[in-house]
Amino acid sequence: MAPERKFFVGGNWKMNGNKKEIDAIISFLTAGPLDPNAELVCGVSPCYLDYVRQKLPASIGVAAQNCYKVAKGAFTGEISPAMIKDIGAEWVILGHSERRNVFGESDALIGEKVNHALAEGLKVIPCIGEKLEEREAGKTEEVVFSQLKAIVDKIPQDKWDNVVIAYEPVWAIGTGKTASPQQAQEVHGKLRQWLADNVSAEVAQKTRIIYGGSVTAENCRELAKEVDIDGSLVGGASLKPDFIHIVNASQ
């Protein structure tokens, strides 16, 4: 991580947790100790967003795990950025590989969602990443640049401070396989260069690019040492007390 970019950790709870289990997570996060120089955001299922926002310390952000591309209407089962803001949450995760690959969300739809969420005043964690067969075919850059372009084209210049990009190689999510710090840094460096070439040098330098894909208490510090890795987006490990070590990985 470069010193000018604040270390960022997202805990994506996915479709996990009930009130009892969430209370336990809130308890260990509140007890900490958490690195005061790191930014922490928890991604919560929609039915618990209000509950978690009320119970977590204000210093910890709360994110929805998805939202739709318009403010309201006949879209059964969806939630809007306005609803997320109304209960006090500040963030949304968009384009996670599970949304792309389980629910069939397209690059174009994810771009539209990012645009609307930013316009409504939310901060956004857009996710990109290649599948195993794409990496093995040498298509990593082609895939992630295409995904990134669909998002970047929809981000107004004055909204970049509200964007944290997550690179999550799909083959490393929940599989126990992790991109080595060097593999992750290689892609992060290329993503940052793409931003410099296609947006601006300033945006490339200030935008945080975080890594997701089987991040654990054991490997988080090595990942955090890489110059273009500005934090992590953590799945299952964010449900366990060891998550504190991941939040504190840059100390």
Residues labelled as active-site residues: 96, 168
Separation of CA 50 from chain center: 20
Rounded to whole angstroms, the Cα distance separating 208 from 229 reads: 8
Pull the structure tokens for residue 79.
């939630």
Q: Where are the alpha helices (DSSP H) in 14-80?
A: 19-31, 49-55
Rounded to whole angstroms, the Cα distance separating 116 from 193 reads: 26
> Burial, 42: exposed, middle or buried (Cβ in 10 Å; 0-12, 13-18, 19+)?
buried
